[in-house]
Structure 1
Amino acid sequence: MAMAVAQEQQQRAGASASSPPRIRILDSAVVRPSPLPSGSAPPECSLPLTFFDIFWLSVPPVERLFLYRLAPDADVPAILSNLKTSLSQAVRVFYPLAGRLRLTPGTSNRYELYYRPGDGVAFTVAEYDAATAGGVDDDIDGLATDDPREVARIAPLVPPLPAGGAVLALQATLLPGRRGLAVGVTVHHAACDGSGSTHFLHTWAAATCARADAPSPPRPVIDRSLLADPRGLYDVFCRPAPATTADGEMVFFKAPADQLLATFTLSKDDVQRVKDAVAAEAARRGVAPPRCTSLVATLGFVWSCYLRAKDDTKAMATSAARTGGDRARACLLFPVDHRSRMKPPLPDNYLGNCIGPALCLAPREEVAAAGAGGLFSSCAAVAAAINEAASGIGTSSMDAWGDRIIGVASSIGMLSVAGSPRFRVYDLDLGFGRPEKVDIVSVAKTGAVAVAESRHSAGGMEVGVSLPRDGMDRFHKCFADAIAAGQNQS
């Protein structure tokens, strides 16, 4: 498996003869779980995919990139060695992530996460080739910026999943001048959701620091039997697996060549201004205000800006034609964690998927309207979708999740959301400080927007957006205009 990872990394690093490799592979290893106190490896296990897991089988893996600044006197060999050793300790606790997805033997549509002693996680060490690096834009300052960056510059910093059903891969890349370190993490969503994958990362971080005064994260709960399926939703959600290449690698979307990735930040005050504008507009209309949390305010704000940045005339005409002349609608899709809503509730540290879709549908022209009117419509729709998602758990509405998403996506399109501020990605200290920047690179393939806590200000939010250059310019203008308008109204 290590050789397959190295070959795939070299192919990703160099796109063509005229575009030489920009990174050089230094080491490609398989990191196995460190031994248990008894001296043995974790036991063989087969975790059957639940109905929450199977929902994600055909979705592209989640690719996160953590960019760290290194001190001028940093002992780089010691840092890399510590990352590898501590990874082995974290994988011991999360040993199913060292396994692979496979069809359960003797079945045609039952999948499982299978681990056996000897399995491990692909861990690649690389560095930018000084002779082919793109200059200052490829150092820590150029990469850890909010400004638009070409996805092609970032993509080699996240590893592919090895062929054969692997669900986790990691890569540490030294940036030019060894002033920075990029840590790329790729996780197959069918193995666990964002809560589980970031729980693993925080466990890895705790192992790298190993401070006596630092509390260790709780151990994951590895028990899929906790999630019953009385409605038979596994068979409802199970769809054909993604296509594979000759060597078994899953085939997913690729980002367009001109795709950019940028980050937009709302300060705590910006978020509060959105909440105030929504409350004032509700009072003006004489209606009860929606429950406008910081997340609701952020999603509503970004959704409204995103629609305004698009070619609304063309989009509305297309949507109206598809829906038989009805008013054009817009859709926002985002995940909701249901651990506390299951009967019985699942532990917060349950390792697996337990998220369902919240589907916002609203008139496009209302959501895209500038000012308080657009913010009220978008935030009200987001709040209503959360209520609908929460109240639908355990009811027949769950049966229609997949068909409803596919139907909406094919008829009017949708904007989806990845990440959560609850994951605390900027607390991920791997022994040499907090990250300078965190990106979900895979949004360039899925068309989603990424949400996280702001690294600039407490209580703020940051949103990663991936668009072609002209679309990015329009979104930037809409976002800046909306922020300025809110500040002028306060």
Structure 2
Amino acid sequence: MFINFAPISLKLLFCSFNLGSMAGPSYLVNILDSNHVSAPKGSVPSTTLALTYLDLPWFPSAPMQSLFFYEFPHPTSHFMQTTLPTLTQSLSLTLKHFFPLAAKLICPPPPLKPYILYSDGDSVPLIVAEFTGADVDHLTANYPRDFKLLHPFVPELPPSTMSSEGILVMPVMAVKVTVFPNTGVCIGMAHNHVAADGSAFMHFMRSWSSVCKSKGDSTFLDEESRRPFYNRDALGDPDGCNEEALKCYWHWISSWRENLAGPTKDISSVDKVRATFELTRAQITKLKQWLTTQCKNSSNDSEEVKISTFVVTCSIMWICMIKSQENNIQVSTNGDNDDDTFYYLLFAVDCRNRIGFPLPVTYFGNCLAPGIVRAKKSELMGEKGMVTAGKAIAKKVKEMESGAQKEAEKGPSNLEEMFRSGHHVGISGSPKFRVYDMDFGWGRPLKIEFIHIDDGGSLSLIESKNESGGMEVSLVLSKNQMDAFTSNLAESLKAF
């Protein structure tokens, strides 16, 4: 393990973040450590990993950002002296197996291909900060709060660099640990989607938390069933998909400008709020029963659709999202009032172990196909909107059981049509990630937040922290839209 220790004694006064519904006191951030953590020296040989047609489309995407809040009723000194050494050692041991997260993305100009390059000593930046004066209960609440409230806990990826030969070098992952004295700890993660999708990244997080909880015992990762699988050859190149994906990459790298960090956004004046809504197991059971009956009664097809927890959750949230946006739609002059306008729902389908993808669940990389559902505005906004949404989503889920490869191959063209429409809602996360099982030795998480949904138009969906069979859905909207969404959801749940 290599840890480059560079203590920093910077006291930063942040007055612009409001921790309450009204203006509150300022609070202090003390940056305690700035480290670089790598796998144990000599434990991983220099390795090059090719990128597949499922990795390449993610180059234009912003980093994936997640926050894991934990209860930690100890002073900062206890964390620094007792907990941080175990946390960094376990990260080092885990990176031995998940080395691409410490590697670099090498992005040459056309006609060369990009790849992941790991060299011995490559590392992950780890920042440790102390946050004094914060109300952790407010930070981890479900009710609407200023969406900027959580941004101080998200790490920034180091800046990309450009060589004299025009080769762009991009970091893959960064970690920021924030200590709330005598109250809690937040582990903030940022990673480049090109290197790993949600399933692969959560595999890493589960492994890291398990090694940390066991005080550095990583022997279970030596088991083949637990180790990440890196063989790209198993994916092949169906119908020249790699060449098509490379064309998109070459267009992206050719348009790269002087700003090596990529475009930045000023969010200081953006007025949005973040909230989490929980559907209980009882509510979901009731919704499933109702929607199953309605689909049977209204179906003209002989084929029966399966109404799952995922289907009912996406259905009711999609409808409520559309209704909450109606005010914006009504003032548009682009023909959006047309009842024949198509609205879209996008969810990612994990293709591991599906037909056409002979990959184990431990495959590390991207293995997603876009599940795209569309329906007319008039149908979704009508009395049977939930039924329309539920049937469409259930049919798409079933189609993806055997047709995921086809959807993955034509995904870019389908996504282009959806994005052009301007009427789309995306689903991020999955209850299959089991994020609330990630115990670093401090107990189950208090709250999980996905910050990359802050641009709006997306929902994060994970399993409930409080009960098996429940669901948590988080979203970011303007204050007016959030009020409308909350009202629509409450009314919808009362109706069933």
Could you state the TM-score of these two structures normalised by the residue count of structure 1?
Answer: 0.86
**Residue of structure 2 equivalent to 1:304:** 319
Unaligned runs of 5+ in 1: none
The residue type paired with residue 381 of structure 1 is A
Matching residue of 1:61 = 63
Question: Do the aligned partners of residues 254 and 291 (structure 1) sit closer, same or farther apart at CA in structure 2, a change above 3 Å counting?
Answer: farther
Change (3 A) 1:244 1:70: farther
> Are 2:133 and 1:111 equivalent residues in the alignment?
no
Separation in 1, partners of 2:334, 2:422: 5
Q: Deviations over 1:190-235 (max 9, x none)?
A: 1011110000001100111117899658110122222111312123
> For the residues of structure 2 that align with 1:50 and 1:252, how far apart are their CA atoms?
28
Give the distance between the partners of 2:417 and 2:112, measured in 1 at CA. Answer: 23
Quick one: distance in 2 between partners of 1:319 and 1:199?
44
Quick check: 1:319–1:411 contact (8 Å CA) kept in 2?
no
**Structure 1 residues 94 and 268 mapped into 2: Cα distance closer, same or farther (>3 Å)?**
same
Instruction: Map residues 89-488 of structure 1 onto 2, 5 A cutoff.
Output: 89-104=93-108, 107-108=110-111, 110-128=113-131, 130=132, 133=133, 138-164=134-160, 165-175=170-180, 177-210=181-214, 218-237=226-245, 238-239=248-249, 240-241=251-252, 246=258, 248-251=260-263, 257-285=270-298, 287=300, 289-311=304-326, 314=329, 320=335, 327-343=340-356, 345-369=358-382, 373-395=384-406, 398-445=408-455, 447-486=457-496
Distance in 1 separating the partners of 2:289 and 2:147:
36
Q: Could you report, residue by residue, the CA deviation over 1:304-360 in whole angstroms, capped at 9, with x for unpaired residues? A: 1111212168359756469xx671221101100111125351010000000010001
State the AA in 1 paired with 2:121.
G
Code of the residue aligned with 2:34 in structure 1: it is S
Report SS of the residue matched to 1:178.
coil
Equivalenced residues, count: 464
8 Å contact from structure 1 (residues 100, 167) kept in 2: yes
The whole-number CA distance in structure 2 between the counterparts of 1:398 and 1:81 is 42
Q: For the Cα contact (< 8 Å) 1:103–1:111, is it kept in 2? A: yes
Q: Are 2:211 and 2:218, in contact at CA under 8 Å, matched by a contact in 1?
A: no
Per-residue CA shift, 1:93-126, capped at 9, x if unaligned? 101110111125x853521111111110111101
**How far does the alpha carbon of each residue in 1:423-445 deviate from its partner, in whole angstroms, 9 at most, with x for none?**
01001101111100001011002
CA–CA separation in structure 1 for the residues paired with 2:218 and 2:12: 44
The 8 Å contact of residues 265 and 460 in structure 1, kept in 2 or not, is answered as: yes
> C-alpha displacement at 1:402, in angstroms?
1.0
CA 1:32–1:358 in structure 2 vs 1: closer, same or farther (change >3 Å)?
Answer: same
Identical positions, percent: 27
Secondary structure (helix, strand or coil) at the match of 1:484 reads helix
* CA RMSD across the alignment: 3.2
Query: Are positions 1:26 and 2:32 aligned together?
Result: yes
Deviations 1:11-36 (A, max 9, x none): 997879xx98853321111101124x
Deviations 1:348-386 (A, max 9, x none): 00000000100010112322345xx22211111111222
Amino acid at match of 1:155: H
Please tell me whether the aligned partners of residues 277 and 376 of structure 1 are also in contact (alpha carbons under 8 angstroms). no
Q: 1:314/1:151 Cα in 2 relative to 1: closer, same or farther (>3 Å)?
A: closer
- Please give the secondary structure, in 2, of the residue aligned with 1:273: helix
String of CA shifts for 1:235-267, please: whole Å, max 9, x gaps.
323243377675622336565621211100111
Aligned equivalents of 2:252 and 2:401: distance in 1?
28
Assess if the C-alpha contact under 8 Å between 1:167 and 1:188 holds in 2.
Answer: yes
Aligned position for 2:166 = none
Unaligned runs of 5+ residues in structure 2 are 18-24, 161-169
Deviates more, 1:46-55 or 1:21-30: 21-30
* Distance of aligned partners of 1:23 and 1:429 in 2 relative to their CA distance in 1, 3 Å threshold: same
